[in-house]
Structure 1
Amino acid sequence: MWAAQVHSGVRTLSRLFLAETGLTFSQWRTRIRVRAAVGHLATGASVKATARAVGYRKPSAFIAAFQRVTGQTPGTYDTSSVNR
């Protein structure tokens, strides 16, 4: 959708995104979702509710992504060190 809006090809936009951010779009999106999830978890939201709130249909997929990014599962993540 973004490529069509800027009259570009998907591959061109993907290459530019990687060059500018150092991340693929998928990697960037996962990090944004995890960052948002930390805020939800800090308020005491359940892992299942947090997963849905940040766009995951399956809590197991959210848990795997969260662990890849943070090295911890969302259930054990220490939110006391999060800067606000």
Structure 2
Amino acid sequence: MNIYVGNLSYEVKESDLQALMADFGPVVSAKLIIDRTSNRSKGFGFVEMENEADAKNAIQTLNGKDHLGRPMVVKEAIPKV
């Protein structure tokens, strides 16, 4: 299952995002979105988790939770059409 993780601190790295989500189950991939001109994080990313139940647990637990001084937005990623 793909998960959108937003409102992240600009200091968060992909490895931090992976570690945060790995507490809930196996992570297939974690990708931060980077601004091309400034080469810094845009403050959001996507995580793909192996197990849907683990992903739903992560969403329910982490959505709105404070991380590095910012309340995270964690929800199922909606695929682009």
Which TM-score applies when normalising by structure 1? Answer: 0.28
Higher strand proportion (structure 1 or 2): 2
Larger radius of gyration: 1
Higher helix proportion (structure 1 or 2): 1
Q: Which has the higher contact order (CA 8 A, sep 6+)?
A: 2
